[in-house]
A = this chain, B = another copy of it.
Amino acid sequence: MKGIGYSIVAVITLATALTYSGLAPARVDGGPASVLGNKLPEGYRDWKLISVAHEAGKLNDLRAVLGNDIAIKAYREGKLLFPDGAIIARLAWKYTASEENNSVFGGPQSFVAGDPTNVQFMVKDSKKYAATGGWGYTQFNDGVAVEVSALTGCYGCHVPVKARDYLFTRYAP
């Protein structure tokens, strides 16, 4: 049983890793009702900044994490559990060397946001998404929703940070 357990963990880990890396999330016809109704939330590009990051490795992107007003308020107040209605957006762009900047500053030191890759959202609804820690997960490629099975997709990777309400990103002051 222990071997089977490890195998299951390995499969889930692989699935979540692939999903995270952008390889796995294919459109699933007849899947569960999609988070955010398959539509990019209006005005999300205007949301306030939570933090920034560089995800190296295969993705190799620069990312900004934005939040709607409910999410920002929860972050700034240090809430342990985010209230329903909180939405967090992760935007990402290809990690791109800026030859223009480097020529001014004299070295290969400047990396900027290149072409956009995809946008992911976490949507808090403690009842609707009770099975995945109260968060629904979705991703948009070029503005088109990509259905991701929440349990085998994003959720699995977020479980290790359950104590912070499944949020990897900390607020950057």
Contact = CB atoms under 8 A, between A and B. Distances in A.
Given A105-B157, A173-B116, A100 B168 contact: yes
Interface in A51-77: 51-57, 59, 62-64, 66
A104 B160 contact: yes
Interface residues of A, number: 44
Interface in A89-108: 91, 93, 95, 98, 100-101, 103-108
Nearest to A159: B104
A141 interface: no
A172 B54 contact: no
Interface of A: 17, 20, 45-46, 48-49, 51-57, 59, 62-64, 66, 91, 93, 95, 98, 100-101, 103-113, 116, 157, 160-161, 168-170, 172-173
